[in-house]
């Protein structure tokens, strides 16, 4: 299904960008402030307006309509929740735990992989969940710029004045969002290291 593909791909890419970036930001709080500020401004841009801004830009390389603008928009929107939660999650690891890890002679990288990321995992997962649910919604709107997906059902229903089609589209998208949300909440609990 186009919708799931679009959202899934965007989330994977977002995680690949956002988590390392979030980790890196913990080494420079000034940069963290700037980056988080920038992404929260981007987050404020309404999705249809972001499409509206991106289409003219991307049309200069012949990709104005379709998958690419939708994909870029989804990745941009995902950055704030993922980066912020990674950054906060790692920053909030108990300093005592970090000290203990240092005391055991772990290198910075070992500490990150063995101690900090596992402890920040619940928050990172929550960020990914927020981003995913958001993307399902934005993905539906992306149908209007030719990215396909469940939004097309609503789109066509409206233009044909077919109420049933509109309702089916709306309900299916909602159920998709709710199910994914619940599923990710479940994983969040499952993958939280015992004892946190």
Partner 1 sequence: MKTKKRIAWIVKILFWLIVITFFTWTIMNDMFRPIVEDFGEFTHLLGQHIIIVFISGLLAILISIPLGILVTRKSFQKSEFWIVNMANLGQTIPSLAVLALAMGFLGIGMKAAIVALFIYSLLPILQNTIAGIRSVDKNTIDAARGIGLTPFQILIKIELPNAASSIIAGIRTALVINIGTAALAYLIGGGGLGAWIFTGIRLFDNAFLISGAVPVTLLAILVDYFFKIMQQVLVPKGLRLAKK
Q: Are 142 and 51 in contact (CB under 8 A)?
A: yes
* Closest of 35, 36, 127 to residue 89, by C-alpha: 127
Report the alpha-carbon distance of residue 82 to residue 59 in Å, rounded: 29
Q: Report the half-sphere exposure of 113 (CA within 13 A, side-chain side).
A: 4
CB-wise, 93 or 153, nearer to partner 1? 153
Assess 20 for contact with partner 1 (CB under 8 A): no
Assess 107 for contact with partner 1 (CB under 8 A): no
Interacting residue with partner 1 among 12, 16, 97, 158 (CB under 8 A)? 158
CB-wise, 14 or 135, nearer to partner 1? 135
Assess 113 for contact with partner 1 (CB under 8 A): no
| Least CB distance to partner 1 at residue 75 (A) | 16
Terminal Cα distance for the chain, rounded: 37
| Least CB distance to partner 1 at residue 106 (A) | 24
CB-wise, 17 or 170, nearer to partner 1? 170
Site for partner 1 in 36-65 (CB under 8 A): 37-38, 41, 44-53, 55-57, 59, 64-65
Assess 6 for contact with partner 1 (CB under 8 A): no
Assess 14 for contact with partner 1 (CB under 8 A): no
Q: Are 58 and 64 in contact (CB under 8 A)?
A: yes
Report the alpha-carbon distance of residue 58 to residue 55 in Å, rounded: 5
Report the alpha-carbon distance of residue 110 to residue 108 in Å, rounded: 6
Assess 169 for contact with partner 1 (CB under 8 A): yes
User: Any idea how long the chain is?
Assistant: 196
Neighbouring CB atoms inside 10 A of 187's CB total 13
Binding site for partner 1 (CB under 8 A): 28-31, 33-35, 37-38, 41, 44-53, 55-57, 59, 64-65, 133, 136-138, 140-141, 144-145, 151, 154, 157-158, 163, 166-167, 169-171, 173-174, 177-178, 181
């Amino acid at each position: 299904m186009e919708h799931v593909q679009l959202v899934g791909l965007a989330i994977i890419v977002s995680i690949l960008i956002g988590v390392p970036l979030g980790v890196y930001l913990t080494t420079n709080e000034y940069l963290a402030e700037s980056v988080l500020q920038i992404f929260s401004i981007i987050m404020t841009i309404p999705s249809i307006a972001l499409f509206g801004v991106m289409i003219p830009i991307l049309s200069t390389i012949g990709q104005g309509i379709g998958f690419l603008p939708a994909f870029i928009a989804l990745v941009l929107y995902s950055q704030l929740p993922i980066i912020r939660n990674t950054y906060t999650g790692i920053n909030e690891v108990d300093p005592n735990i970090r000290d203990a890890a240092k005391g055991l002679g772990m290198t910075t990288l070992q500490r990150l992989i063995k101690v900090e990321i596992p402890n920040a995992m619940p928050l990172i997962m929550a960020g990914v969940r927020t981003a995913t649910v958001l993307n399902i919604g934005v993905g539906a709107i992306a149908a209007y710029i030719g990215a396909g997906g469940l939004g097309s059902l609503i789109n066509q229903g409206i233009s044909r004045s077919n109420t049933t089609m509109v309702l089916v589209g709306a309900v299916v998208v909602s159920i998709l969002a709710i199910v994914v949300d619940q599923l990710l909440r479940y994983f969040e609990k499952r993958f939280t290291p015992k004892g946190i």
